[in-house]
C-alpha cells in the first residue's frame, strides 16, 4: 500500500459507504442486524484511531429520526465522534462540512461517492477511498492487511533439482549395483586372461534410462501415420455387340395403340351406301356417325329414324363444324 494520510489532520468518513465497501452490511438487511454491524464498526474505529486529529463518522439518520435524535453528535472517544443526519442525507452533511471548513487542506474526506469526492477535490481536501483508508488505519507502517494475513513462505531448496540433483541422489544405489555386478567404475581397467590390462566398456544406467525416456517422448510426439488403402473403382459392364433386341413391352404397347387408332377410324368413318346421316353428331366438330354402321337391328334403326323425322328441329346453341 503506497498511500498514506496524516493522523494529525481531521478526517470525515462516509459511514454508510464504508460499511457497504467493507462488506459489513448488505441490501435488505434487517434493522437490528444493520445497527449491530454499525456498532461493531464504530468500536473498531475507536480501537484503531488514537488521534491526534479528530475523526468524524457521518451516518444516515433522516430515514429513522428517532434513532438519529438519540445518537446525534455522540462522542465515542476523545478523538472519535459519530454524527447522524436529520433533515438531509449523510452525503449532503459531508458536502456541507467540506464547504464550511476553513482549512480544507487539513480535512481528509473518506468516501467512494462521486459527488462527495468531486466537491472535496474542488475545495482542495485530501481524498481517500474506503478500503485503502481502512487498511492504512489497520497497518500504518505500509503493510497491507492481505499481505500480513498471508505471508509468502520462504522457498526451500529442493533435494532433487534437475538431472544433476537426481544423479547425486541415485549415486549410492548405482555404486552398490556396480559392486554387486562386479562392474568396474568409469575409467578403471580390468585384466584379461593374458594378463594385459584391457579397458571394459561400461554403460551408465541412469544415462541409459534418460535416453530411453527421451526416445519414447520423441516417438509419442510424432504424428501417427495410418496405412492408406486403395479404393478400386467399380467394374464397367461390357458393351453389347450387334443390334439391340427391341423391348417386348414397348412393342406390345405400340401394337395396342395402333389397334385402338384403327378401331376408332373404322367406327367414325361414314358408309357410302347411307342415304342420309343421323342428325346429331356424337362429338361436335366430327363427322356424323352412320346409324346403319352401328350393327343395330333394322327395325330399331327405322323406328329411330321415324322419331327423328317427326321431331321438330331445335335451335342449336352452337353449330359444329361439318354439319
- Cα–Cα distance for residue pair 297/290, rounded to 1 Å: 14
To 10 degrees, what angle do helices 90-100 and 114-123 make? 0
- pLDDT score at 121: 95
49-63, 160-174, 266-280: which range is least confident on average? 266-280
For the chain, domain boundaries = 10-147, 265-310
> Collapsing DSSP states into helix, strand and coil, what is residue 309?
helix
**Alpha-carbon 286 to chain mean position:** 79
- Cα–Cα distance for residue pair 107/25, rounded to 1 Å: 27
The alpha-helical segments, DSSP class H, found in 101-129 are 114-123
CATH of 10-147, one of 2.40.128, 3.40.50, 1.10.530, 1.10.3470: 3.40.50
Q: For the chain, how are helix, strand and coil distributed in percent, rounded to 5?
A: 45, 10, 45
CA distances (Å), 309 to each of 213, 277, 304, 323, in order?
121, 12, 9, 17
Omega cis (within 30) before 115:
no
- Cα–Cα distance for residue pair 115/113, rounded to 1 Å: 6
pLDDT tens digits, 201-227: 666 777 788 888 888 878 777 666 666
- Cα–Cα distance for residue pair 82/73, rounded to 1 Å: 6
pLDDT tens digits, 137-190: 888 654 444 444 444 344 444 444 455 555 666 677 777 766 766 655 544 545
114-123, 129-138, 185-194, 289-298: which range is least confident on average? 185-194
C-alpha cell at 11: 478526517
Amino acid at each position: 500500500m503506497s498511500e498514506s494520510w496524516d493522523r494529525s489532520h481531521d478526517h470525515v468518513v462516509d459511514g454508510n459507504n464504508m460499511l457497504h465497501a467493507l462488506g459489513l452490511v448488505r441490501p435488505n438487511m434487517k434493522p437490528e442486524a444493520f445497527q449491530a454491524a454499525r456498532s461493531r464498526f464504530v468500536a473498531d474505529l475507536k480501537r484503531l484511531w488514537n488521534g491526534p486529529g479528530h475523526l468524524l463518522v457521518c451516518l444516515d439518520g433522516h430515514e429513522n429520526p428517532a434513532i438519529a435524535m438519540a445518537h446525534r453528535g455522540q462522542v465515542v472517544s476523545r478523538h472519535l465522534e459519530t454524527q447522524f443526519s436529520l433533515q438531509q442525507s449523510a452525503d449532503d452533511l459531508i458536502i456541507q462540512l467540506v464547504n464550511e471548513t476553513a482549512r480544507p487542506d487539513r480535512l481528509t474526506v473518506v468516501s467512494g461517492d462521486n459527488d462527495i469526492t468531486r466537491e472535496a477535490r474542488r475545495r482542495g481536501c485530501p481524498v481517500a477511498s474506503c478500503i485503502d483508508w481502512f487498511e492504512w488505519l489497520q497497518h500504518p507502517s505500509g503493510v497491507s492487511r492481505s499481505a500480513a494475513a498471508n505471508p509468502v513462505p520462504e522457498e526451500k531448496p529442493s533435494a532433487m533439482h534437475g538431472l544433476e540433483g537426481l544423479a547425486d541422489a541415485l549415486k549410492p544405489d548405482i555404486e552398490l549395483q556396480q559392486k554387486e555386478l562386479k562392474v568396474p567404475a568409469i575409467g578403471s581397467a580390468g585384466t584379461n586372461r593374458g594378463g594385459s590390462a584391457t579397458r571394459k566398456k561400461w554403460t551408465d544406467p541412469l544415462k541409459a534410462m534418460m535416453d530411453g525416456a527421451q526416445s519414447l517422448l520423441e516417438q509419442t510426439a510424432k504424428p501417427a501415420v495410418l496405412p492408406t488403402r486403395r479404393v478400386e473403382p467399380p467394374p464397367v459392364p461390357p458393351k453389347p455387340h450387334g443390334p439391340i433386341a427391341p423391348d417386348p413391352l414397348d412393342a406390345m404397347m405400340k401394337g395396342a395403340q395402333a389397334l385402338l387408332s384403327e378401331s376408332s377410324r373404322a367406327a367414325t368413318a361414314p358408309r357410302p351406301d347411307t342415304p342420309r346421316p343421323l342428325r346429331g353428331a356424337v362429338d361436335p366438330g366430327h363427322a356424323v356417325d352412320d346409324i346403319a354402321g352401328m350393327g343395330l337391328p333394322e327395325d330399331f334403326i327405322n323406328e329411330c329414324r321415324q322419331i327423328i323425322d317427326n321431331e321438330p328441329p331445335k335451335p342449336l346453341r352452337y353449330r359444329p363444324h361439318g354439319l
